[in-house]
């Protein structure tokens, strides 16, 4: 049985990613300062292209889907989701998000140790966010994969 607290935290953390993507898409039209503060000066150029906006909204939808997976691990309605589908989704999301965060954090370590000579940016916050999300989803996946008994 999955720990509901970990599953709820994983779901909330993942859903916050989806919410940020929706906020960025909306802020392009109604509050561009939010996008510039959270994503940087290239925000308007990035979101000013239709394919980039569509990509962002697809990513938001994927985060919402990924936020449902930890809940399915302990909610009664989750028993209707085949276990291999649930595990596949959880592990896929955990690995993608965790790897993205780990790569960013590895770069931060290389910069702080002087191996790389680049400036750290606000993306460090997102690296931690990605890595934490991946670890939480991985924790839920491990509990689901544990032998029942």
96-128 pLDDT, tens per residue? Answer: 999 999 998 998 888 888 887 877 666 778 889
Distance CA 60, CA 62 (A): 5
Alpha-carbon dihedral of residues 122, 125, 128, 134, nearest 10 degrees?
-100
For the entire predicted model, the pTM comes to 0.83
End-to-end CA distance of the chain: 10
Contact in structure between 134 and 98 (CB atoms under 8 Å): yes
Q: How high does pLDDT run on average in the chain?
A: 85
* Banded model confidence at residue 1, pLDDT cuts 50, 70, 90: low
Spatial separation of the C-alpha atoms in residues 21 and 59, rounded to whole Å: 7
> For the chain, how big is the Rg over CA atoms in Å?
17
- Per-residue pLDDT at 122: 66
Q: Which residue has the tokens 């980039």?
A: 52
pLDDT in tens, 41-73: 676 777 777 787 888 889 899 999 999 999 999
**Residue (of 22, 148, 125, 140) closest to 92 by Cα position:** 140
Instruction: Work out the number of other CB atoms within 10 angstroms of the CB of residue 51.
Output: 7
């Amino acid at each position: 049985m999955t720990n509901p607290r970990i599953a709820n935290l994983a779901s909330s953390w993942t859903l916050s990613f989806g919410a940020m993507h929706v906020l960025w898409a909306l802020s392009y039209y109604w509050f561009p300062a939010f996008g510039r503060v959270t994503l940087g000066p290239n925000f308007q150029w990035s979101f000013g292209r239709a394919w980039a906006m569509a990509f962002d909204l697809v990513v938001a939808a994927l985060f919402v889907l990924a936020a449902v997976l930890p809940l399915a691990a302990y909610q009664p309605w989750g028993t209707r989701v085949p276990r291999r589908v649930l595990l596949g989704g959880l592990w896929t999301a955990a690995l993608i998000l965790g790897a993205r965060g780990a790569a960013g954090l590895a770069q931060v370590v290389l910069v702080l140790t002087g191996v790389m000579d680049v400036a750290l940016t606000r993306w460090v916050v997102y690296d931690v966010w990605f890595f934490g999300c991946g670890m939480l989803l991985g924790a839920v996946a491990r509990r689901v994969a544990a032998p029942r008994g």
